[in-house]
């Protein structure tokens, strides 16, 4: 028992050093855990922001793809219309090339003049109507 009493200060000293070392190591580890938890929180917030941006980008891409498809449809439609108009123009040019309208006008002036005058009147009426629409739009824009 006397040996135990003599060893008690050494045991207490070793125990105190062990307890202090334990608290110091655990304190460092807890600090590191807290820092890592803060990093995890920041990274989670950034992840949420990046996911929202990715969803927005995906929606934008889908929208742009839809608009591109619509533009392709419109371009196809316009190309088809242009081809039709070219065919009509070619047909009309063939009519002019295959007929001598000067000779026909001399032989039957009433036939050609009436048709030419009617067609000219229709064109002028159309131009006047378009001009009125444009003028009405300009007046409406100025009144706003």
pLDDT of residue 144: 53
Three-state secondary structure call for residue 99: coil
State which residues form the domain around 65: 45-98
Residues 114 and 84 in one domain: no
Q: Is residue 137 part of a domain?
A: yes
Which of 68-77, 85-94, 116-125, 127-136 has the least mean pLDDT?
127-136
The pTM for the full model equals: 0.44
Residues 125 and 135 in one domain: yes
Residues 58 and 82 in one domain: yes
> Residues in the chain, how many?
144
The answer to whether residue 41 scores a pLDDT higher than 80 is: yes
- What are residue 100's phi and psi, to 5 degrees? -100, 95
At 135, the pLDDT band (50, 70, 90 cuts) reads confident
Q: How many domains does the chain have?
A: 2
Tens-place pLDDT, residues 64-100: 999 999 999 999 999 999 999 999 989 888 877 877 7
From residue 133, give the alpha-carbon distance in Å to each of 2, 127, 130, 141, 143. Answer: 121, 10, 5, 12, 15
Residues 90 and 57 in one domain: yes
- Among 82, 98, 114, where does a domain finish? 98
Residues 76 and 113 in one domain: no
């Amino acid at each position: 028992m006397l040996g135990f009493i003599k060893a008690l200060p050494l045991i207490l000293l070793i125990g105190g050093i062990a307890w202090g070392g334990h608290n110091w190591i655990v304190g460092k580890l807890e600090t590191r855990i807290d820092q890592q938890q803060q990093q995890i929180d920041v990274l989670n917030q950034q992840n949420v922001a990046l996911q929202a941006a990715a969803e927005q980008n995906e929606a934008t891409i889908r929208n742009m793809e839809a608009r591109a498809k619509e533009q392709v449809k419109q371009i196809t439609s316009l190309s088809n219309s242009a081809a039709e108009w070219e065919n009509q123009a070619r047909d009309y040019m063939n009519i002019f090339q295959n007929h001598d309208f000067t000779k026909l006008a001399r032989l039957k002036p009433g036939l050609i003049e009436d048709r030419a005058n009617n067609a000219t009147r229709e064109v002028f009426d159309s131009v006047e109507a378009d001009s009125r629409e444009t003028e009405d739009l300009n007046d409406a824009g100025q009144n706003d």
